[in-house]
């Protein structure tokens, strides 16, 4: 069997990464993470220069303290295993 060469359609990939469907998926995931974190955490989605992004942040003082002490945001997104 010969070598397989895959060529990505760059414009199509960029279009997919910036699509409203991707923003909807990211918003749902960020919302689910915020629910697990509890009150004081907020999320936002936006379209950047390369792709859609989601951000989650601690807004209230108790949430900021909780995040500083326990790394709650990092653990909630799966960064600490």
Domain count, the chain: 1
Residue 81 in any domain: the answer is no
Residue 16 in any domain: the answer is yes
Q: Give the model's pLDDT for residue 79.
A: 64
- Report yes or no on whether pTM surpasses 0.85: no
Residue 35 in any domain: the answer is yes
Burial class (CB in 10 A: 0-12, 13-18, 19+), 64: middle
What are the tens digits of pLDDT across the range 37-46? 999 999 999 9
What distance in Å separates the CA atoms of residue 65 and residue 78, rounded to the nearest whole number?
A: 20
Q: What domain range includes position 16?
A: 10-76
What are the tens digits of pLDDT across the range 54-74? 999 999 999 999 999 999 999
Residue 1 in any domain: the answer is no
């Amino acid at each position: 069997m010969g070598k397989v060469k895959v060529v990505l359609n760059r414009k199509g990939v960029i279009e997919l990464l910036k699509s409203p469907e991707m923003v909807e998926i990211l918003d749902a995931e960020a919302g689910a993470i915020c629910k697990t974190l509890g009150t004081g955490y907020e999320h936002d989605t936006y379209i950047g220069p390369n792709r859609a992004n989601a951000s989650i942040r601690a807004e209230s003082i108790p949430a900021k303290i909780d995040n500083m002490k326990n790394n709650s945001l990092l653990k909630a997104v799966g960064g600490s295993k």
